[in-house]
Structure 1
Amino acid sequence: MNRELMLSLLNKVVRVDRGGPESRVGKVFSAQSDYFALLTEEDGIVFYKYQHIKSITQDSRNGMKLNVEVPEDYPFASFMDFRSVLNELRHKWVKINRGGPESVEGVLEEVFDDFITIVKNEEVIRVAMFHIRNVSYGPKPEKKPEKQDEENN
């Protein structure tokens, strides 16, 4: 996967990877030099590194629906590279490698060239930068209110 492909999918709903614990459906809302941002209903905004993406699926019939909106004041979507995103997330609660056996969550304490440091309870966890597939942060997005049929009221 690369930036050019993800730019062509901006504001479209896609499935990242075909299945398994890392697979997510969401709206692509940013594509930068080495990562893209996906807005999901379950996890909020997830930042994916291109090098770890196996597949991107777009439903040609627009069958994949997403009932969330991109937060207007979300500052992280425009950072030029993945490391800049991580630096901005310092001292915030994050989840690394969502859903898989290597999933880690806690406070992102420090970002180094080769690894990051996460603190969770009494544990200090160091994760190699190369092995970070994705990271999510912050509150989950609010769902758009469903349009109610006024005839039923």
Structure 2
Amino acid sequence: MNRDMMKSMVGKIIKIDRGGPESRIGKLLDVYDDHLVIITEDDGVVYYATQHIKSVTENAKEQLEFNIEVPEGFEFKKANTFHTLLEALKFQWVKINRGGPEKLEGVLSDVNQHFVSLINKEEIVRLSMFHIRNISYGLKIEKEEEQQSDDKQNNQAKMSDDDKQQARNRVVKSESSNQYARNKER
């Protein structure tokens, strides 16, 4: 997608792609060289890698439904590149890809030029950077006051401090095992 064209739509309601599991309707918050940021009703703030966007539909006649008010000065993570954004999300609970067979969620534990590592329960999943279409980290705007208290408790921390430490320990243990295997091959 052309960055200048997309910049002209900042603040407007758009639909990413025409359909399928990755399609979302939301308000375009910002555009960068290789990704854009929208806020959706259900997923909150979602970062899309522009190389995977097939189409963008502008809400010219108010026909795309979007029922939340984005507060003035709304804060979200900003990064000049998609890779830098992923680095900023390390050790947070994230959702990668909205649907389909490559939908993942877990703690983002490692980011490099070729892949990311996610920890979910007893699994460490490594996903090629090229196959990350979008990512979100749970930042949402609440629709109703009744939902705020319930959702706030659920979103405060997907993992306890002990769970986060266990995830970090698994990463260190995994990296130590990898180093041991490399040294053994020599």
Tell whether the structures are fold-level matches, with TM greater than 0.5. yes
Secondary structure of residue in 2 paired with 1:86: helix
Assess if the C-alpha contact under 8 Å between 1:92 and 1:107 holds in 2. yes
Indicate the residue corresponding to 1:124 in structure 2: 124
Identity, % of aligned positions: 47
Normalised by the length of structure 1, the TM-score is 0.88
CA gap of 1:4–1:130, structure 2 versus 1, over 3 A, is same
> In 2, distance between residues paired with 1:40 and 1:111?
25
Question: Would you say 1:138 and 2:138 are equivalent positions?
Answer: yes
> In 2, distance between residues paired with 1:102 and 1:143?
29
Normalised by the length of structure 2, the TM-score is 0.73
Indicate the residue corresponding to 1:50 in structure 2: 50
Question: Would you say 1:9 and 2:29 are equivalent positions?
Answer: no
- Highest Rg: 1 or 2? 2
The structure richer in helix per residue is 2
Which deviates more from structure 2 when the two are superposed, residues 60-69 or residues 107-116? 60-69
Runs of 4+ with >6 A deviation = none
Unaligned runs of 5+ in 2: 146-186
Q: How many residues of Structure 1 are paired with residues of Structure 2 in the alignment?
A: 144
The structure richer in strand per residue is 1
> In 2, distance between residues paired with 1:70 and 1:60?
19
Within-5 A mapping of 1:60-139:
60-70=60-70, 72=73, 74-76=75-77, 78-139=78-139
> In 2, distance between residues paired with 1:96 and 1:125?
11
Assess if the C-alpha contact under 8 Å between 2:76 and 2:139 holds in 1. no
Secondary structure of residue in 2 paired with 1:46: strand
Structure number with greater CO (CA < 8 Å, separation at least 6) is 1
Unaligned runs of 5+ in 1: 146-153
Secondary structure of residue in 2 paired with 1:64: coil
> In 2, distance between residues paired with 1:121 and 1:96?
16
Assess if the C-alpha contact under 8 Å between 1:2 and 1:34 holds in 2. no
Secondary structure of residue in 2 paired with 1:47: strand
